[in-house]
Amino acid sequence: MTAMESHLKGYTGLNIGLIFGGFCLLVAGYFLSIPLFTAIGGTFFGASLGSLFGRMANKDIIENFGLLSQPQKFTSEEANITLFRKEWHMYHVTKINGEFVWRYTLYDFSKESVPGYLQASVTIASPYDNTAQNHIVEAGIRKNKLVTLITACEGDEAGIHIFPRVEHTFRSDYCGIVDLTTWDDTPSISPVIIVSKPKYGTEPTIRDPEAKELDEFWISRMKTYGFDLLPRVTAETANKPIVQSTVQPTAQPIVQQISEQPIVQPTV
C-alpha cells in the first residue's frame, strides 16, 4: 500500500464519523427546534459527504495514474489467463557440451496479482558451475496460443515459447516450441513442455528414463495437434514444376518425420 493510499484510507473513517455526527445533529435540531444544531449538523453532514466522495474519486485517479505510469507489459484479457495463474513446470530441450538434453524450470504465476498480466521470476542454474542467472517471465494469450517471453535480468538473452493449442484450458499439460540460445551459445528452436505437476523430475538437467519419457510425450502430443511439417526444399525439388492435384492429400503430421529419426538422449 502506498503512502497516498494509506492517507486516503485513514481519512475515510473520519469522514464517515463526521457524516454520522452531522446527521444526528441535523435530526436533533429539527425535532428540538434548535436552529444552531440544525446549522452545525447540516454543515458537517454536507461537507463530510462531499469530502468522502471526493477522496473516493481521487483514489480511482491515483490507481489509474499508477497503471498508466508503469512500463508497457505483455497483457491479456484476465478471463483468458485466470486458469494459468498457478505453478507450471517447464521442460525444454537445449544443448550442453554438444549434447541435446532436457532442462527443467519452475514458473510460478500465482505470485503476481495484476489483472491481465502473468509474470514470474525464475533463477536458472548454470550446468557448468555453481552460478545462476535471474530471469523475468511474462506470459499472455494471443488467439488460441500461449506465448511466454523470458528475459535475462542482466544482458540481452531472451527466449520465446509458443504453445499453439491452449483453447482447451482444462488440460494440465501443453506442448510447443521455444526459440532460445542454448548453453553452447547457439541459436535453437526446440521442443518445450509445461505441466501442472512435475511428473518428469525437478532436477535442473533431466536424465533417463524421464528424458526418454519427455521425448515420447512431446512427439505423441504434437501428433494429436495434427501439425504438418512441410518437406525441405532442395535444389532438385525447387526446379520441379508444381503439379496441381485433384486428390486431397493426406496430411502428414510434423512429428512423423521426427519420430522416424533416432531420439538423441542426454548422456548421464
Highest mean pLDDT among 18-27, 181-190, 241-250: 181-190
Give domain limits for the chain. 3-69, 78-226
pLDDT of residue 233: 58
- 3-state SS assignment for residue 19: helix
Continuous segment of H or E residues that includes residue 123 = strand 118-125
98 contacts 207 by C-beta, under 8 angstroms? no
Residue 67 or residue 128, greater confidence: 128
Q: Give 117's DSSP letter.
A: B
Residue 167 predicted with pLDDT over 90 = no
Q: What secondary structure does DSSP assign to 81-93, as a single string?
A: HGGGSSEEEEEEE
The pLDDT of residue 65: 46
Does residue 192 have a pLDDT over 90? yes
Look at residue 112 and tell me whether its pLDDT is greater than 60.
yes
- Residue 67's pLDDT is 42
Measure CA 199 to chain center.
21
pLDDT band, residue 191 (cuts 50/70/90): very high
* pLDDT digits 0-9 by tens, 21-76: 555 655 565 566 666 656 665 565 556 555 655 555 455 544 444 444 445 567 77
Q: Which CATH class is domain 78-226?
A: mainly beta
| Cβ contacts of 163 within 8 Å, gap of 6 or more | 145, 146, 147, 148, 174, 175, 176, 192, 194
Please report the pLDDT score of residue 266 as a whole number. Answer: 45
> Sheet holding 118-125: strands in order across?
118-125, 132-142, 145-152, 158-163, 173-181, 187-195, 87-96, 99-108, 205-206
pLDDT of residue 71: 52
DSSP-derived 3-state class of residue 30: helix
Most confident of 106-115, 202-211, 221-230, 232-241: 202-211
Count how many Cα atoms sit within 13 Å of the Cα of residue 228 in the half-sphere of its side chain.
7
